Amino acid sequence: MVKRRCAIFPSSWTLSLAAAAMAIACSPAHAEGERRRIDLPASTLSHAIALLSREAGISIGTDGTLPHIRTGPVHGSMEPGAALKALLMGTGYHARQVGPTAWRIERDAPASALAPRQSGPKAKPPADGTGTPILVTATKRAARLMDLPMAASVVELGDRAELRPGAAVQTADVAAEVDGMTLTASGHGRNRLFLRGIADSAFNGESQSTVAVILDEARLTYAAPDPDIVLVDMERAEVLKGPQGALHGTGALGGIYHLVTRKADTDTASFSLSGGAEAMSGGDLGYDAAAVVNLPVSPGVAGARLVAYARRDAGWIDTGAREDSNSSQLLGARLALGVEAGGGWRLNLTGFGQWRESRDSQYVYQPGARTRPDQLAEPHDNDLRHVALNIARDGEGARIVLSSAMTWHDVNDVYDATQGAEGFGLADPLRLNLERTYRVWDNEVHASGDMGGIAWLAGISVIEARQYDLTLLTSATGQLSLDDDRRITTDLSAFGDLSVPLGSGLSLDAGARLFRSSLSETRTLPSGVLKSDLGRTGVTPAFALSWRPDGAHLAYLRYGSAIRQGGLDIDGIGEQARLKGDELATVEAGWRQQIGAKGTLDLGAYFTHWQDVQSDMLQPDGLIETANAGNAEIIGFEGSLALPLAGGWQVSAGASYQDARLVRNDLGIDVEDRRLPMAPEYTLRGSLGYSFAIGNAEASLRARLRYVGPARLSFDPAVDRPIGDYLESSLQARLDLGQVGFALDVDNPFGSGADLFAFGNPLRFGSLRQYTPQTPASVTLSAHCRF
């Protein structure tokens, strides 16, 4: 049960109403009908409400802590209700009068195609042209996207997750709607994730990931590839672009990929079930199923939410006599417990697991082919388990959050070693096994609030990440350990952030993170054992100056920074060498505008300087070592537009351009082409949708295109291959009958077989050209029901 608080008194809403009643009896001058002089400066929403409460002599209650929303000035002689209406205009909140001098602030009901139907004409958008605000929580405090002085994208998942849970929405689907977000194409659970051209390598080595994957309050990954969480029963995916070291610590060079789950409802029981079947051109059949159950254990006090899903991805690569050999299977489950402990405290306990198994790899040896000669199967296994405890309190003027989470992530790959492994000294090698184990323990305490119009955030964090990489070459009669690398990284940090209004719509944000990062590494090689201990202390600051002339426009200038710890490297002659840690800083400028009730325009430009780039490099023997590539600079531009048109039509478009290059070469080889790997020069996307009614049912159609421009595979000329230059396309149809709905999805309807990724088997790479074709055209029919 959500606890209410009063803007004036620290007691309950009931006490507020009692006080309001006493005020009426003792002071009739406070009646609603009387006009009063109101003078509210530009401030935050919570501070402005407190000021209005004092000036007008009224009681204003809220449900929990309000998000960090900037409000404009309100001046003039008016009734308190009119002042509240003017103050809340464009915030996504409204005031409901509950007594002669008492109001309650409530959030506007979201406009959703899945909302229960009501008879009569549909409600019109607000006259002021504003709609329900998009909130972002990846900044550790809730803020409107329109108030956030940094580049960010939010993909709302509610509707899609209910219509096709387990099938349609994964990391690649989010990337298709976020400009500047790219992935490699090794396969589900094996891909690396990049933002804004901050891309160090196409290969999965030992360096820390440049994008942090966060589930609710906890970090899921540290050095692992993207686990490709299937986004079942999720509210939204938030993407913060550019370095986020000030709030999220080491390694967040490119940004944050934040997944927000739906929490257990302590009041209402619900159940939903969905399933779908997929038919693929030239491939076999796939399926998906998901169930979501919410049960109030103790109504108003405790609730449980269980999510379970399964899917089979169709195979479409024929390997010798093995047809459709690259099919994969996945199981996932999440249990969330929520307890309203009283006094504004809420406890959330989450257990989550996802288990993925791919039967074979998906590369071929001829462009456009979907067959390859017979070879040993190359399976992939990706298992993730996660437990998190979150305790939060929404109190008077401050929110306190305590979180602790543990993630166990095991990633195993097998490659055919019958070619390319002869030089290691093992007779008749058969398979190369890469066994990688990741453990991340993330603990944090932070508090946020508003003090005199100044929004503040402060916290401490402890992260321990353990990483074990074992490389084994096996034969029918024995095995050889090629590399056994064990890393333990500990990050201790304190962080803070302030947002200060300067007047005339201007605001200054300043934040920093003081950290101590230590790394202990032990490598066992055929030549001997190497050990290294590294430590680093520093500060990663962030600053932003923003101008908000009204609730629908925002301009900002921001500086952000982040670092990544170094490590232990083996150089070209087999000697131990220490890697320098990366340092990255970005200056960006942006303009964000709300157009009508649901339209948005977002423009941005940025410059990044990246010092001592750590890059995972493919060696001639097929193994991967990390090297300092030098310094890089990135210049980029991006823009997006989402616009509802008349008659139920909607259009969305986006574009990005980036020039990402080495400006100093420390690789010790001639690099004529200095573009960073996996950074497409440009991307273009567009979609057209149409929503309409069929009797009492609601239907929608959507067509989507995305073009990814040219990119490269590696710095090394001997390894480099051209990639990119491909078109993604899809068609979608939805029919919602209320409790029952249907969806039809057609992916790659043009049947394109363009090369997505010019890499597959590291041992065969030097002798055989490799290609990863696009997934063939497929049709998926899904159905869901809700109770």
SS3 768: coil
Of residues 689, 690, 694, the one with CA closest to residue 741? 694
pLDDT in the model for residue 595: 92
- What is the DSSP track for 564-583? E---EEE-TTS-EEEPPPEE
For 295, the token pair is 């049960």
Instruction: Report d(CA 330, CA 328) in Å as an integer.
Output: 7
DSSP 488-541: EEEEEEEEEEEEEEEETTEEEEEEEEEEEEEEEEEEEETTEEEEEEEEEEEEEE
Task: Please tell me the predicted confidence (pLDDT) of residue 590.
Answer: 98
Take residue 365 and report the two structure tokens written for it.
């040896």
pLDDT in tens, 21-71: 333 333 434 444 577 778 777 667 777 787 787 777 787 876 556 666 767
DSSP at 38:
E
**Three-state secondary-structure class, residue 450:** strand
CA distances from 95 to 39, 103, 112, 571, 613 (A): 19, 6, 21, 66, 52
> What length is written for the chain?
787
pLDDT for residue 64? 57
Averaged pLDDT, groups of 10, the chain, 787 residues long: 36 35 38 68 72 78 66 77 80 78 72 34 40 81 91 81 52 94 92 95 91 94 92 93 95 95 92 94 94 94 96 96 96 96 92 97 95 97 97 86 97 96 93 97 95 92 96 95 94 96 94 96 88 92 95 95 86 71 97 91 98 94 93 97 94 97 93 93 97 93 97 93 95 92 94 93 94 96 92
**Identity of the amino acid at 714:** S
pLDDT of residue 394: 84
Q: What domains, with CATH codes, occur in the chain?
A: 4-107 (3.55.50.30), 135-248 (2.170.130.10), 255-393+406-421+435-786 (2.40.170.20)
Q: Among residues 456, 502, 556, which one has the least CA distance to residue 43?
A: 502
Cβ 102 vs Cβ 58: under 8 Å: yes
Q: Provide the pairing of β-strand 318-319 with 371-372.
A: parallel
Structure tokens at 278: 């997929």
- Alpha-carbon gap, residue 103 to 30, rounded angstroms: 13
Q: d(Cα 122, Cα 117) in Å, to the nearest integer?
A: 9
Phi, psi of 545 (to 5 degrees): -115, 125
pTM of the model: 0.85
pLDDT tens figures, 4-19: 333 333 333 333 333 3
Distance CA 627, CA 621 (A): 16
> What per-residue confidence (pLDDT) applies to 76?
74
